[in-house]
Amino acid sequence: MKKYYQIRDHSFYFKSAPHLKSHTGWHNAYIDIITRFLDDFKNSSQPVEIPAYPVLSSHKCDDLLFETASYWEGALYFLGSEVIGSRNALHGIGETITSVAEGWSNFEEELFLKIWDSHGQLKWLRAHLIREENQKFLQNHESSEGVRIAGELHANKDLIWLSSFIEQHIDEGCKYPNPYFGGYNPLHLHLHYSYCDSR
C-alpha cells in the first residue's frame, strides 16, 4: 500500500529502486526522471511518483552502485539546473536547507529535500562536496584527525564538520556505495581509489 505525502497542495509517494532502465546511461538518467515528475506536479492533480533513496531497497537492485551514483547525479542536476539554479552545489545545499528551515523556501527546494534528504542522506553528498572544495587544504589527508587539523588551521567550519562526519560514519560508509567513502568521484565510485580499501 502506497504512503502519500504532501508539499503544499501537491501529493506524492516514493517509488522504490530500481529507477534505472536496462541500458540506460546512468549519468543522465535522472534528467528524464526529474523532468517527468516536475511535469506531473504541474499538469496532474493525481499523486506523483518520486524516486526513493536506492539504499533503502538495495535487495531489489541488480547494481546498487549505478543506482546510487545516478541518484546523486540527479541531486547535482536538480541543484544546478534551472530547477534550483545554484552555481555551486555545496552553497546550493546550504541555501536550500536554510530557506526550508526559515520558512521562505519555494516548492522545488522543499521537494529537493524530500527526495535527497528523506532519511538524512544528504550529509553524504555534503561531505563529498566539502572535500572537493577544500582539496588545497587537505593535501590528500583523509583521516578525521587530519581533516580536523586542517579545519582548525584554516578556521574552516566545513572541514571541522567533515572531521566529525568521518568519525561518525566511516564504518557505515564502507558498507554500501555513497558519495564520500567510495572514492574521490561519487559518480564513478567503482573506478577510483576507495578509502575503505586502505583501512
Residue 187 pLDDT greater than 70, yes or no: no
Cell numbers at 165, concatenated: 562526519
Residue with cell 541518484: 71
Residues 128-158 as b or e (16 or more Cβ within 10 Å = b):
bbbbebbeebbeeebebebbbbbbeeeebeb
Residue 190 pLDDT greater than 70, yes or no: no
Task: Flag the least confident range among 23-27, 85-89, 128-132, 195-199.
Answer: 195-199
Q: Residue 188: pLDDT band by 50, 70, 90 thresholds?
A: low
Q: Residue 23: pLDDT band by 50, 70, 90 thresholds?
A: low
Indicate the pTM of the whole model. Answer: 0.88
Encode pLDDT of 56-106 as tens digits. 987 777 788 889 989 998 999 999 887 888 889 999 999 999 999 999 999
Which residues 6+ apart lie within 8 Å of 16 measured at CB? 52, 56, 57, 60
| pLDDT for res 189 | 32
So where are the chain's domains?
1-119, 121-199
Strand partners, 11: 6
